[in-house]
Amino acid sequence: MKLTILGCYSATPRALTNTTSQVLEINNHMFLIDCGEGTQVQLRKHKIKFNRIKHIFISHLHGDHFYGLVGLISTFRLLTREADLHIYGPKGIKEIITLQLKLADSWTNYNLYFHELTSKTSELIFEDEEVEVHTIPLDHRIYTNGYLFKEKEGNRKLDINLVEEANINVAYYRKLAQGFDVLNEDGILIKNSTVTKAGAKPKSYAFCSDTMYKVDIVPIIKNVDVLYHESTFLDKNANLATKTKHSTAKEAASIAKQANAGTLLLGHYSTRYGDLNLFKEEAEEVFDSVELSEDGKEFEF
Amino acid sequence: MKLTILGCYSATPRALTNTTSQVLEINNHMFLIDCGEGTQVQLRKHKIKFNRIKHIFISHLHGDHFYGLVGLISTFRLLTREADLHIYGPKGIKEIITLQLKLADSWTNYNLYFHELTSKTSELIFEDEEVEVHTIPLDHRIYTNGYLFKEKEGNRKLDINLVEEANINVAYYRKLAQGFDVLNEDGILIKNSTVTKAGAKPKSYAFCSDTMYKVDIVPIIKNVDVLYHESTFLDKNANLATKTKHSTAKEAASIAKQANAGTLLLGHYSTRYGDLNLFKEEAEEVFDSVELSEDGKEFEF
């Protein structure tokens, strides 16, 4: 599981900082999460192949989270993309994008699917053999969802020595990986657990931005490996966090602690602060494993 | 008259090139012309004071000319702008912007005025004591206007020695600058032309992008000091210019020649070409005074 931070600052793009966007690579999927203005340029800088992005998840309709979306969709068209593109986001996102494509007389030459969200409870919105994605209803000034990405239980790992000793035909290796007992060349049933081990533990990632401190999300993200939780403000500006429905670094850490997260990743910093380490220090008063997002930073989990 | 090129490439923003946007300073006005994605960052890089921009002119609703507008409007709001903002552009632009502000529940705290254009003939769309702005109807795939910016005849210049010799009271200097005859301290009428000279010749600037070769614009921009005319393609791709309703460098030069422009400024280059000098060379086969736009370049005329 690899996460690339394309932008992690709040409010407006500036010469050296970008608004929210990140790419999550998980089990051969490449998910784009939020898409602030300038995201397509950030994707180019990081040499991320546009065609690998097939699913884009937008948290809410504040500009710093989606003003780059229409440009990315248009660029895909100019690059003669053929692959389907799925957009998940709040109701209204389809109207915004299609109005602009219509007035530009520039409909896409690939299939563009909108999955508009309105539910106030967590939903499963994407699922295939490897991964599932659930919404995390957040509490911000407008309708907002975080997203929980979960790998499914992976294949079992064959112990090749034991498999060969057991005289199992290669044709059955896939069945073994899927956890089935199989017949060997002598017609004897071989118990799966005697020749395989459990595969890698499935990973999970939760993206929670923008939101005020909301304990209701804890059960949804319980035991998540990595939690990205917005921390727009430091504790001294907690009053602003309340007023604007954002969180402080300490509040983000409190959610991470209650959820028993593996690692807390902070981000969506207000640009009023010079030193990001202050966010880390405040969060570490509450929770041990804290990392700072920074534009361009890559995390492998 | 000063022109700052924020972006001059077609299609999509890339790591080192920007889509169309430019700032024209003329007679204390600061006009923003087109606003591709990332324009607000370009404005910051060039330290252009956001509050000085009171009028934005959008040529047409293709993304590379206006996808940065909604972000700029939002940033103005976050910076607690108070000054009025006037947007000129094709019908539909108001719906695009207001839909996004409505869904973000983020109406501006300053007055935002939309001046939607539909006319297919040139119109006077802005005028004050110093400057007037006219549309230049262009021929592109969708409804498009260029813009002609004209200084008005300026004040006359006082010859201070002659004025003092003529024994004119300081209180009358403003009247002299405005071209009036005045009474001197001895009650004698002094003819304006005997103590003043004509002021600086009023300057004019025409922005023509995007458009195919269209001779109808020549009378509108006749004798313009500086003509920015798009040149998306080189001559070898003239077929593409026709197909996509763009111009070649030679066609831009032909318009400049017929209009008797002072200087031709090329731009809106397709990103397929490596060497911009080829555009200049081709245009110079037709017209003498050719300059190349480049992102970040400033021109004083």
DSSP, residue by residue, chain A: -EEEEEE-BSS---SS--BSEEEEEETTEEEEE---TTHHHHHHHTT--GGGEEEEE---SSHHHHTTHHHHHHHHHHTT--S-EEEEEETTHHHHHHHHHHHTT---SS-EEEEEE--SS--EEEE-SSEEEEEEE--SSS--EEEEEEEPP-PPEE-HHHHHHTT--GGGHHHHHTT--EE-TTSPEEPGGGTEE--PPPPEEEEE-S----GGGHHHHTT-SEEEEE--B-GGGHHHHHHHT--BHHHHHHHHHHTT-SEEEEE-B-TT-S-THHHHHHHHTT-S-EEE--TT-EEE-
Residues in A closer than 8 angstroms to B103, CB to CB, are 61, 90, 92, 96, 142
- Closest partner CB to A104 (pick from B41, B75, B142): B142
Which of the four pLDDT bands, split at 50, 70 and 90, describes residue B287?
very high
Identify the DSSP state of B163.
Answer: H
C-alpha triplet B110, B114, B116: angle, nearest 5°: 175
Least Cα separation, residue B101 to chain A (angstroms): 9
Residues in B closer than 8 angstroms to A295, CB to CB, are none
Which of the four pLDDT bands, split at 50, 70 and 90, describes residue B161?
very high
Peptide bond into A64 cis (omega under 30): no
- Closest partner CB to A62 (pick from B40, B62, B104): B104
Asked if B63 and A41 come within 8 Å (Cβ–Cβ), the reply is: no
Tell me, what's the pLDDT at A173? 94
Taking the C-alpha atoms of residue A238 and residue A243, their distance in angstroms, rounded to an integer, is 9
Q: Which residues of B are known catalytic residues?
A: 64
Least Cα separation, residue A15 to chain B (angstroms): 5
Tell me, what's the pLDDT at B176? 94
Tell me, what's the pLDDT at A14? 95
Q: Is the pLDDT of residue A297 over 90?
A: yes
- Closest partner CB to A63 (pick from B74, B95, B99): B74
Tell me, what's the pLDDT at B27? 86
Which of the four pLDDT bands, split at 50, 70 and 90, describes residue A155?
confident
Peptide bond into B64 cis (omega under 30): no
Taking the C-alpha atoms of residue A153 and residue A177, their distance in angstroms, rounded to an integer, is 12
Residues B3/B8/B12/B18 CA torsion (nearest 10 deg): -50
Least Cα separation, residue B271 to chain A (angstroms): 12
The mean per-residue pLDDT over the stretch A91-113 comes to: 96
Q: Is residue A86 a known part of a binding site?
A: no
Taking the C-alpha atoms of residue B55 and residue A6, their distance in angstroms, rounded to an integer, is 32
Please give the single-letter amino acid code of residue B147: Y
For helices B93-103 and B69-78, angle between their N-to-C axes, nearest 10 degrees: 50
- Closest partner CB to A15 (pick from B41, B67, B100): B41
Tell me, what's the pLDDT at B240? 98
> With contact defined as beta carbons under 8 Å apart, do A21 and A68 qualify?
yes
Q: Does domain A2-154+200-300 have CATH number 3.60.15.10?
A: yes
Task: Name every residue whose Cβ is closer than 8 Å to that of residue A219 and which is 6 or more positions away in sequence.
Answer: none
Asked if A41 and B103 come within 8 Å (Cβ–Cβ), the reply is: no
Sequence ranges of chain A with CATH classification 3.60.15.10 = 2-154+200-300
Taking the C-alpha atoms of residue A271 and residue A252, their distance in angstroms, rounded to an integer, is 18
Tell me, what's the pLDDT at B63? 97
Tens of pLDDT along A74-83? 999 999 999 9
> With contact defined as beta carbons under 8 Å apart, do A115 and A168 qualify?
no
Best to test chain B binding among A41, A73, A244 (most B CBs inside 10 Å): A41
Tell me, what's the pLDDT at B153? 86
Tens of pLDDT along B45-67? 999 999 999 999 999 999 999 99
Tens of pLDDT along B112-130? 999 999 999 999 999 998 9
Please give the single-letter amino acid code of residue A108: T
Tell me, what's the pLDDT at B217? 98
C-alpha triplet B127, B132, B136: angle, nearest 5°: 120
Copy the structure tokens of residue A174.
């896939």
Which of the four pLDDT bands, split at 50, 70 and 90, describes residue B200?
confident
Q: Is the pLDDT of residue B271 over 90?
A: yes
List the end-to-end C-alpha distance of chain B, in Å, as a whole number.
Answer: 5
Element (H, E) at B177: helix B173-177
Q: Is the pLDDT of residue A134 over 90?
A: yes
Residues in A closer than 8 angstroms to B100, CB to CB, are 61, 63, 96
| Catalytic residue status for A64 | yes
Copy the structure tokens of residue B52.
């000085």
C-alpha triplet A199, A204, A209: angle, nearest 5°: 170
The mean per-residue pLDDT over the stretch A261-273 comes to: 97
For helices A69-78 and A93-103, angle between their N-to-C axes, nearest 10 degrees: 50
* Percent over 70 (pLDDT), chain A: 100
Which of the four pLDDT bands, split at 50, 70 and 90, describes residue A200?
confident
Strand order in the sheet with A112-117: A112-117, A85-90, A53-57, A29-33, A21-26, A2-7, A298-300
Radius of gyration of chain B, Cα coordinates, nearest whole angstrom: 22
Q: Is residue B268 a known part of a binding site?
A: yes
Best to test chain B binding among A21, A48, A70, A100 (most B CBs inside 10 Å): A100
Asked if B100 and A61 come within 8 Å (Cβ–Cβ), the reply is: yes
Least Cα separation, residue B244 to chain A (angstroms): 12
For helices B93-103 and A93-103, angle between their N-to-C axes, nearest 10 degrees: 170
Best to test chain A binding among B9, B35, B37, B45 (most A CBs inside 10 Å): B37
